[in-house]
């Protein structure tokens, strides 16, 4: 059944304070500002954390080592420091990202007044245009690097890392197309029954990988099935489900228990791939990735009331975390697509200085490398911000959907998460890049 024709409850209207701006006049990035009135700040905060986790994780575990012949090769500190694997459970936040993306897509579709077809075309355009821009600019930089005589091995590493973020387009585009049918399925059978077949597909892919490591077609199937699970949970939450502490605690406990069991059964403890390891939990995503997503989503839902109290108490003069969250959300797709090219560019350009710099060109052999790499993170962030700065200015984007605002005093926060509002109540939501 179409999401637009389903009778739904109206979500509580958000308070209109001076610390919000009109959805019709949202600026681009002229200055950090709070989100438009009616935006769900908690979901925005979770999306910002998810994007930040992906970026920080990549910058920390991707080492580009300068060899004696002047080429760059990839390495990972997790090879020398396997005890750091639990840290990847906090930084591999793709499940949380797909959860917020499914939530945003569901509310956006319910509130878009011009039909599902135009909504989908608009949404896919926001995803594909930045990706095409990355490919165009990257091609020009690659040509320049070839002219400058960059070694072939370095070029191969640079291209691989620069285009690696584009993998998300496959599941994100497919799940965006399926948002309406998935919402109808959730309303008919419930989120757990809908997610069960996807979990079974991932389990079958894991089994096939152990029995037939060279089996073709495993990657796209596992990619779609694994990330469909958190997307479905986001769809369900946008429809007023998974509210209250019991389902949240159940998700967290089930996901956490599954993580421990899977590691005991021989799955890698790292949530990301480690060079030289026989199996990766991320590419393609395994049952471990699905369990981690469930655990993170459960913990996020448990934290929702506390996050709402913090985020909805922002004052106009001190927007603080609200402004930061709004900025990250407005630039989420740019941050995601360009964070790896920035890492490659900074490392390659500084390599021309002629001497390896600790934490940047040296082998990740110990905690000293990790400490040195942390010192480089501000430079990566500054370069990324400078790269995105020319895009600032009026965005001309369709406003985001009107979603639940802060709870009234003494009311449970999860009661604010009523089902999506009727068609015509709001505009097209932000694209999650996640977004």
| Alpha-carbon separation of residue 358 from 85, 153, 342, 367, 370 (angstroms) | 22, 21, 18, 12, 10
pTM, two decimals, is 0.80
Task: Identify the pLDDT of residue 116.
Answer: 84
Pairing of strands 63-66, 72-75: antiparallel
Q: Measure the CA–CA gap between 247 and 251, rounded to whole angstroms.
A: 6
Task: Identify the pLDDT of residue 218.
Answer: 62
Task: Identify the pLDDT of residue 433.
Answer: 40
Q: Measure the CA–CA gap between 135 and 131, rounded to whole angstroms.
A: 6
Task: Identify the pLDDT of residue 318.
Answer: 56
Contacts for 43 with CB less than 8 Å, ≥ 6 apart: 100, 103, 104, 403
Q: Measure the CA–CA gap between 304 and 300, rounded to whole angstroms.
A: 6
Q: Measure the CA–CA gap between 99 and 299, rounded to whole angstroms.
A: 13
* Angle at 387 (CA atoms; ends 385, 389), nearest 5 degrees: 65
Residue tagged 């690097």 (tokens): 145
Answer yes or no: are the C-beta atoms of 225 and 201 closer than 8 Å.
Answer: yes
| End-to-end CA separation in angstroms for the chain | 25
Q: Which helix (H) or strand (E) holds 294?
A: helix 287-311
Task: Identify the pLDDT of residue 184.
Answer: 95
Task: Identify the pLDDT of residue 384.
Answer: 95
Per-residue pLDDT of the chain (435 residues; tens, 9 = 90+): 444 444 343 343 333 333 333 333 333 333 444 445 567 889 999 999 999 999 999 999 999 999 988 889 999 999 999 999 999 999 999 999 999 999 999 998 888 878 888 888 988 888 888 899 999 988 998 898 888 888 888 899 999 998 888 888 889 999 999 999 999 999 999 999 999 999 999 999 988 888 776 655 566 788 999 999 999 999 999 999 998 899 999 999 999 999 999 999 999 999 998 887 778 899 889 999 999 999 999 999 999 999 998 888 766 555 677 788 888 988 899 999 999 999 999 999 998 887 899 999 999 999 999 999 999 999 999 999 998 887 654 444 434 333 344 433 333 333 334 344 333 333 333 344 433
Contacts for 434 with CB less than 8 Å, ≥ 6 apart: 47, 50, 51, 97, 101, 168, 172, 332, 333, 336
206 CB-contact burial (10 Å; exposed 0-12 / middle 13-18 / buried 19+):
buried
What is the 3-class SS of 355-416, one letter each residue?
Answer: CCCCCCCCCCCCHHHHHHHHHHHHHHHHHHHHHHHHHCCCCCCCCCCCCCCCCCCCCCHHHH
Domain layout of the chain by residue ranges: 23-202+221-277+287-416
Strand partners, 285: 282
Task: Identify the pLDDT of residue 317.
Answer: 52
Task: Identify the pLDDT of residue 220.
Answer: 76
Written as six digits, the tokens of 154 are: 């370095």
Written as six digits, the tokens of 333 are: 């797709």
């Amino acid at each position: 059944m179409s999401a637009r024709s389903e009778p739904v409850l109206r979500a509580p209207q958000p308070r209109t304070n001076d610390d919000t701006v009109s959805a019709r006049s949202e600026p681009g990035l002229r200055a950090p500002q709070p989100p438009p009135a009616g935006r769900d700040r908690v979901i925005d905060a979770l999306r910002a954390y998810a994007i930040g986790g992906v970026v920080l994780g990549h910058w920390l575990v991707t080492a580009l080592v300068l060899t004696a012949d002047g080429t760059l090769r990839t390495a990972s500190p997790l090879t020398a420091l396997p005890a750091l694997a639990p840290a990847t459970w906090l930084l591999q936040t793709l499940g949380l990202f797909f959860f917020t993306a499914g939530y945003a897509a569901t509310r956006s579709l319910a509130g878009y007044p011009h039909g599902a077809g135009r909504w989908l075309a608009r949404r896919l355009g926001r995803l594909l245009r930045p990706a095409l821009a990355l490919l165009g600019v990257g091609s020009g930089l690659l040509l320049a690097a070839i002219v400058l005589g960059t070694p072939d091995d370095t070029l191969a590493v640079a291209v691989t890392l620069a285009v690696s973020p584009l993998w998300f387009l496959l599941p994100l585009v497919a799940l965006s197309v399926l948002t309406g049918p998935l919402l109808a399925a959730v309303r008919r059978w419930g989120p757990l029954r809908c997610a069960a077949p996807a979990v079974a597909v991932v389990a079958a892919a894991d089994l096939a990988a152990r029995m037939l490591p060279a089996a073709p077609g495993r990657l796209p199937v596992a990619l779609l099935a694994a990330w469909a699970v958190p997307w479905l949970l986001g769809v369900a939450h946008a429809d007023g489900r998974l509210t209250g502490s019991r389902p949240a605690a159940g998700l967290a406990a089930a996901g956490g228990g599954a993580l421990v069991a899977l590691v005991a059964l021989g799955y890698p403890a790292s949530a990301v791939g480690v060079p030289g390891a026989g199996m990766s939990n991320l590419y393609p995503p395994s049952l471990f990735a699905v369990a981690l997503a469930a655990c993170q989503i459960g913990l996020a839902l448990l934290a929702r009331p506390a996050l709402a109290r913090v985020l909805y108490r922002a004052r106009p003069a001190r927007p603080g975390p609200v402004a930061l969250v709004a900025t990250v959300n407005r630039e989420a797709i740019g941050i995601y697509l360009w964070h790896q090219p920035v890492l490659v560019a900074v490392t390659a350009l500084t390599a021309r200085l002629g001497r390896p710099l600790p934490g940047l060109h040296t082998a990740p052999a110990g905690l000293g490398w990790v400490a040195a790499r942390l010192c480089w993170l501000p430079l990566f962030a500054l370069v990324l911000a400078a790269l995105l700065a020319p895009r600032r200015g009026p965005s001309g984007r369709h406003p985001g959907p009107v979603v639940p605002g802060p709870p009234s005093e003494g009311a449970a926060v999860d009661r604010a998460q009523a089902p999506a509002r009727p068609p015509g109540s709001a505009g097209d939501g932000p694209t999650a890049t996640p977004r």
